[in-house]
């Protein structure tokens, strides 16, 4: 997608980026290493399977994502700048670590740090990151205070050894925004100018359109006690009917039975998130996909019928309420302004089909619906 080429992720010998993981085939690993060394492509997506122990002089930048431990991360970001030129390492960390430590105040100076503490400390420490990595490698903890004796000692050692001035995001914080904004223009020719903050351009590239849309988390629908019986009936009927639909399309004895395709768990999440279902594709995200052709469409049709049976378009020719509460056996219909509301007695059940409430329905039609639904209930009870 970086080159506006949908489907490019499925090209194994891409000239943009390739992957190297522990599960990558042996020959693919060899080809990946050889082609990268030969300059046939510029980017590799890899794990520690390739991130440790390599001595490639061609690597100028390493981008690290995810948690681990500082020792391994130090090794991985150390793959860049091994040709004597300056390298750039980017580390993505969470803004807020759930169940983690998100401020220096949550740490105690001199206390033991486990792996999780060290990663949390690395994300928030205000001290020089180069020294922080060095102390973690030597002493097994990430410093958080500049008056730490080990931090002071390591800082003095770097000065005595005439090491280059550190330009990490803590030591050169003012340069970071410019660097990040210019990385979009980076290539082999201007990379040194960019990391040295000497790059200038009048071109503006807005890549905000490429940002993934922020997904809103779905909230479960609160199930009222008086609604629960009808919803339980719907769940049971949905499972039974889908099993019947599946068995009618596939012969018995296959590797998957109807219970493997759809069961109590899927029915529960459909009921919990039913108010978010407006298209068949919405069901895909809720139950995790489609197991056979037409399953989502079939489920969507059943859910739609159930919703209509509860809501309806009109009752007795007048607008129905947005939702019929199962706790009430009455459907209130609005009358003229200022006049009291009238009610018509209607039994609310889940067996009513999509044609229950039609425009222009009369009282006799509603009465007929009641009689038919009572008969249906008796037949079901008898069976």
pLDDT in tens, 215-260: 777 788 777 777 788 888 888 999 999 998 888 888 777 777 888 8
> What pLDDT, on a 0 to 100 scale, did the predictor assign at position 382?
56
- How high is the pLDDT of residue 152? 96
Query: In angstroms, rounded to a whole number, what is the distance separating the alpha carbons of residues 190 and 168?
Result: 20
**Mean pLDDT of the 139-168 span:** 94
Residue 369 clears pLDDT 70, i.e. is over it: no
The whole-angstrom distance between residue 307's C-alpha and the CA centroid of its chain comes to 28
Highest-scoring range by mean pLDDT, 283-297, 335-349, 353-367: 283-297
| CA 163 vs CA 155, 158, 159, 167, 360: distances in Å | 10, 5, 6, 12, 87
DSSP type of residue 333? E
Please give the DSSP secondary-structure letter assigned to residue 184.
Answer: G
DSSP H helical ranges for the chain:
26-37, 48-51, 70-77, 115-124, 129-139, 149-160, 176-182, 191-195, 228-249, 258-261, 264-272, 280-287, 295-311, 363-382
Specify whether the CB–CB gap between 80 and 61 falls below 8 A.
yes
pLDDT band at 312 (very low <50, low <70, confident <90, very high): low
pLDDT the model gives residue 299: 93
Q: How is the chain split into domains, by residue range?
A: 8-163, 172-214, 222-304, 312-383
DSSP states of 264-309: HHHHHHHHHTGGG--SHHHHHHHHTS-SSTTHHHHHHHHHHHHHHH
Query: Is 71 strand, coil or helix?
Result: helix
243 and 295 in contact (C-beta within 8 Å)?
no
Residue 296 vs residue 382, higher pLDDT: 296
What are the tens digits of pLDDT across the range 324-347? 333 333 333 334 444 443 433 333
74 pairs with which residues across the strands?
A: none
CB atoms within 10 A of CB 60: 19
Do the bridges between strand 342-345 and strand 330-333 make them parallel or antiparallel, or are there none, so unpaired? Answer: antiparallel
Helix (H, G, I), strand (E, B) or coil at 30: helix
Q: What is the pLDDT of residue 375?
A: 60
Long-range contacts of 156-165 (CB under 8 A, 24+ apart): 158/130, 158/131
Write the CA distances from 7 to 12, 19, 134, 161, 196, integer angstroms.
11, 15, 42, 51, 36
What is the pLDDT of the chain when averaged over all its residues?
A: 79
- pLDDT score of 334: 39
Among residues 23, 65, 59, which one has the least CA distance to residue 41? 59
Per-residue pLDDT tens over the stretch 78-94: 888 888 888 899 999 88
The residue assigned the tokens 């210019």 is: 182
Tokens coding 83: 């040709």
Q: If you classify domain 8-163 with CATH, what class do you get?
A: alpha beta
pTM for the complete prediction? 0.57
């Amino acid at each position: 997608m970086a080159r506006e080429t949908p489907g490019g992720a499925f090209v194994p010998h891409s000239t943009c980026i390739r992957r190297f993981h522990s599960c990558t085939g042996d020959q693919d690993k060899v080809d990946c290493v050889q082609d990268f060394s030969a300059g046939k492509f510029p980017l590799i997506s890899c794990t520690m399977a390739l991130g440790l122990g390599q001595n490639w002089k061609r690597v100028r930048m390493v981008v690290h994502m995810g948690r681990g431990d500082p020792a391994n991360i130090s090794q991985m970001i150390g793959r860049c700048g091994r040709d004597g030129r300056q390298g750039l390492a980017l580390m993505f960390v969470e803004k807020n670590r759930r169940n983690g430590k998100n401020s220096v105040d949550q740490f105690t100076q001199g206390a033991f740090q486990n792996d999780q503490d060290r990663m949390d400390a690395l994300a928030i420490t205000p001290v020089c990151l180069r020294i922080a990595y060095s102390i973690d490698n030597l002493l097994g903890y990430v410093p958080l205070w500049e008056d730490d004796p080990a931090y002071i000692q390591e800082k003095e050692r770097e000065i005595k050894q005439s090491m280059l001035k550190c330009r990490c995001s803590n030591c050169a914080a003012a340069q970071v925004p410019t660097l990040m904004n210019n990385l979009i223009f980076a290539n082999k020719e201007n990379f040194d100018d960019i990391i040295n903050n000497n790059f200038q351009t009048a071109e503006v590239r807005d890549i905000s359109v490429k940002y993934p849309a922020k997904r809103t988390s779905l909230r479960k629908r609160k199930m009222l006690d008086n609604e629960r019986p009808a919803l339980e009936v719907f769940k049971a009927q949905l499972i039974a009917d889908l099993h019947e639909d599946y068995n009618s399309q596939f012969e018995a004895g296959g590797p998957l039975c109807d219970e493997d395709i759809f069961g109590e768990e899927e029915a529960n999440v459909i009921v919990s998130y039913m108010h978010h279902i407006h298209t068949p594709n919405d069901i895909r995200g809720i139950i995790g996909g489609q197991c056979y052709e037409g399953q989502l469409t079939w489920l969507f049709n059943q859910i739609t019928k159930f919703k209509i049976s509860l809501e309806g378009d009109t009752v007795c020719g007048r607008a129905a309420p947005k939702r019929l509460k199962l706790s009430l056996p009455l459907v209130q219909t609005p009358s003229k302004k200022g006049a009291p509301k009238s009610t018509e007695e209607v039994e609310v059940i889940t067996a009513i089909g999509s044609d229950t409430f039609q425009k222009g329905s009369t009282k006799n039609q509603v009465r007929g619906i009641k009689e038919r639904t009572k008969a249906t209930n008796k037949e079901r009870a008898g069976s």
